[in-house]
């Protein structure tokens, strides 16, 4: 499936009141902005590995909010230990989606280990994440995402996507503009 299609398919859930979205850098950040930027979206454009940690920080700070993290296989591979921390603290308000294109796309398409047998969903389960699975089609993704929203517990959802991305990775939303606007927006979300 195409990552952009997956993002577009669940977009109404991302916009919902009381939800915050955190993405890692690269194609997922640019494609989500292309589908549509909203004030409750934060794009962590660097510090690879830390999208899930940042999501955990928000989830622990604001238990009344739903936190959706869009991660990548390259990023998650840099912080596999973070899965054990996620599992240990088990934020019930966090959904961890990993778009797995089996490559580091924005730097030239280098294959990652998920293309040669490393299974992030099984790693998540073994780390103690209560629910984790791998989906490969858009329909499967939509169903699994809806299930994760309904479950009300920590979920890691690995979505296998094609190794394609946007035409450009630098967008016209500056990093700091996003960072300050997102922080201010979170002050308006009442418990």
Asked if 101 and 163 touch (Cβ cutoff 8 Å), the reply is yes
* Window of 42-50, 116-124, 138-146, 150-158 that interacts with another protein by CB under 8 A: 42-50
* Count of residues in contact with another protein, rule CB under 8 A: 36
- Residues from 56 through 75 that contact another protein (CB under 8 A): 56-62, 65
* Window of 114-122, 145-153, 163-171, 177-185 that interacts with another protein by CB under 8 A: 177-185
Site for another protein contains 22 (CB under 8 A): yes
* Window of 41-49, 112-120, 128-136, 159-167 that interacts with another protein by CB under 8 A: 41-49
Question: x/- site string to another protein, residues 89 to 128, per CB under 8 A?
Answer: x---------------------------------------
CB of 61 to another protein, least distance (A): 4
Binding residues (CB under 8 A) for another protein: these are 22, 42, 44-62, 65, 79, 81-82, 84-85, 88-89, 175-176, 179, 182-183, 186-187
């Amino acid at each position: 499936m195409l990552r952009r299609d997956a993002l577009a398919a669940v977009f109404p859930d991302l916009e919902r009141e009381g939800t915050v979205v955190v993405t890692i850098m690269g194609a997922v950040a640019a494609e989500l902005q292309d589908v549509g930027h909203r004030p409750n979206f934060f794009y962590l454009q660097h510090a690879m590995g830390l999208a899930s940690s940042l999501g955990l920080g928000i989830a622990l700070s604001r238990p009344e909010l739903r936190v959706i993290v869009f991660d990548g296989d390259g990023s998650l591979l840099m912080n596999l230990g973070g899965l054990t921390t996620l599992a240990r603290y088990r934020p019930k308000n966090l959904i961890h989606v990993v778009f797995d294109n089996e490559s580091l796309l924005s730097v030239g398409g280098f294959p990652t280990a998920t293309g040669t047998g490393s299974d992030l969903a099984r790693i998540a389960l073994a780390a103690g994440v209560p629910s984790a699975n791998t989906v490969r089609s858009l329909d499967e993704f939509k169903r699994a995402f809806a299930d994760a929203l309904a479950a009300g517990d920590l979920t890691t959802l690995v979505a296998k996507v094609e190794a394609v991305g946007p035409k450009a990775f630098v967008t016209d939303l500056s990093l700091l503009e996003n960072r300050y606007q997102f922080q201010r927006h979170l002050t308006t979300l009442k418990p």
